[in-house]
Amino acid sequence: MSMKVGNQPFFEGVDEAIHNSFMVNAVSSAQDGLRDKKLRATVGDETLGDWENWRNAGEEIRSFTLNHLDYYLKQLSDNFSARGGHVYFAQTAEEARDYIKKVVRDKKAKNIVKAKSMVTEEISLNEALEEEGCNVLETDLAEFILQVDKDRPSHIVVPSVHKNRQQVRDSFKKLGYTGSDDPKELAGFARKTLRSQFLKADVGITGCNFAVADTGSICLVTNEGNANMVTTFPETQITVMGMERLVPSWKELDILVTLLCRSSVGQRLTTYVTDITPGGQLDTVDSPKDFHLVIVDAGRSNALGTEFQPALHCIRCAACLNVCPVYRHIGGHAYGSIYPGPIGAVLSPILGGYKEYGKLPYASSLCAACTEACPVKIPLHQLLIKHRRKYVEGGGNPPVGEKIAMKGFGIGASSPFMFKVGMKTAPILLKPLVDNGAIEKGPGPMRPWTHGRDLPAPSSENFRAWFKKHKEVESENKTKETSEWQ
Ligand code: SF4
């Protein structure tokens, strides 16, 4: 059990994904929609002021909090406990699972309802609780669909982005659904199915978008309302959070919630922003009576104090996935990690090691669109390069094609003469491979690259020759103009 999705080696997964045209189309149209909404809600919203100022504030808050993580974790823990909650620090995924299993066992709980949570996916909590004999029900609509299908998320915010409504209808048939593929009807069926389960749940489990250190509160940012049901119906509540997901106070929470809602789904504010504080001592109506907060490390401290610490600034908005050209073509499952896309390629080797995830940082064109999109300014493309360096230094093998291409380019670019010769000879050498203006099947190390896309044929006229020609024409014209005026 781990954050791994499937057992396929990375490049095999990529190969399969790029030939799955249904998935590629579904992902690219979702990407376009989410990216456009985000742009309208950020740089396109005049009421917000300068989006760059918001990003700067986000970066500052995350960086400050991570630099004082020990202080704020203690403050969070003290305040949560002082209000009657129970805090458990889990160094590993196994420790987190064991603690939660114990709580469930002590309560003799059978029925568990869950709200969407990446960290519980990361620690494979559902499987662990099912082994204990519990019925675990995902109540977020997309997660519910995946659970019915025994599938895994392929996007951080929209986990079932790779499915269409016909597929959802077919999945629901397994539960006795006889209706159409109309989204409203499908959602109505899910709502009805889930509602009765909320009423008999013994324990509710959620993730945590942010924890507020100075009051010991948990903040959940959602759109469906299911998280509110999960946290109010059962008397026992377990919140699982990655240890970096906290803010010092409500002032910083305000800014990060704004950044998260606008960057993830392009909304000024999501339908629900729910804040829960343990209420065991207050006898309140809607606070959980028995509230457990499980704070998970599971590899995060590997990044603390290193060049990779900025990866922990992530607020899981998925804006980087929504602009990534690689994610667009391979979708989420090909990454083989519960965290896909640019942040997945950065985070997975930190949490799961280079042996398992060392190839993921190569799933990038290094175009830096992810860095530009990130609301808390994580330098994702630079972290990917740093990972590649560490991977190779540790004895890992980079993709052969890239290695040869970079070596060749290095030799060519180091001498003007070689560069000139290369530019002249490339179109001649590659000509036999060109068909309809592109190379569809490259030889040797070029083969994997051209397996999934076409390489445009090199132009017979290179840029230097073109520039020289135009410069000459331009200066001739200038001379002509001058002599006409004289
Ligand atoms: S790295 Fe940045 S853009 Fe990507 S999910 Fe995290 S916060 Fe969002």
User: pLDDT for 277-319, tens place per residue?
Assistant: 997 655 666 678 899 999 999 999 999 999 999 999 999 999 9
Q: What is the DSSP letter of 177?
A: -
Q: Ligand 1: distance of its center to the CA of 320 in Å?
A: 5
The C-alpha atoms of residue 240 and residue 188 are separated, in whole angstroms, by: 29
124-173 pLDDT tens trace: 999 999 999 999 999 999 999 999 999 999 999 999 999 989 999 999 99
pLDDT at 439: 82
Long-range contacts of 11-18 (CB under 8 A, 24+ apart): 11/359, 11/399, 11/448, 13/330, 13/333, 13/334, 13/335, 13/336, 14/330, 14/334, 14/363, 14/452, 15/451, 15/452, 16/334, 17/329, 17/330, 17/331, 17/333, 17/334, 18/329, 18/330, 18/451, 18/452
Mean pLDDT on 66-87:
97
Q: What is the dihedral of CA 90, 295, 350, 131, to 10 degrees?
A: 60
Q: How many Å apart are CA 242 and CA 119, to the nearest integer?
A: 6
pTM of the complete model: 0.88
- Which one of 378, 380, 382, 384 would you pick to mutate in the ligand 1 pocket, going by the greatest count of ligand atoms within 8 A of its CB? 378
Cα–Cα distance, 284 to 141 (Å, whole number): 29
Q: What pLDDT digit, counting tens, does each position of 350-408 carry?
A: 999 999 999 999 999 999 999 999 999 999 999 999 999 999 999 998 877 777 777 88
User: DSSP character for 311?
Assistant: G
Percent of the chain past pLDDT 70, that is, above it, reads: 97
Residue 330 parent element (H or E): helix 325-330
Question: What are the residues whose beta carbons fall under 8 Å from the beta carbon of 477, sequence distance 6 or more?
Answer: none
Report how far ligand 1's centroid is from the alpha carbon of 242 (Å). Answer: 15
Ligand 1 contact via 205 beta carbon (within 6 Å)? no
How many whole angstroms from 317 Cα to the centroid of ligand 1?
A: 5
**Residue 474 neighbours by CB distance under 10 Å:** 10
User: For the chain, what is the mean pLDDT?
Assistant: 92
3-state percent helix, strand, coil for the chain, nearest multiple of 5: 55, 10, 35
Residue nearest to atom 3 of ligand 1 (CA): 374
* Sheet strand arrangement including 210-212: 246-247, 210-212, 217-222, 272-276
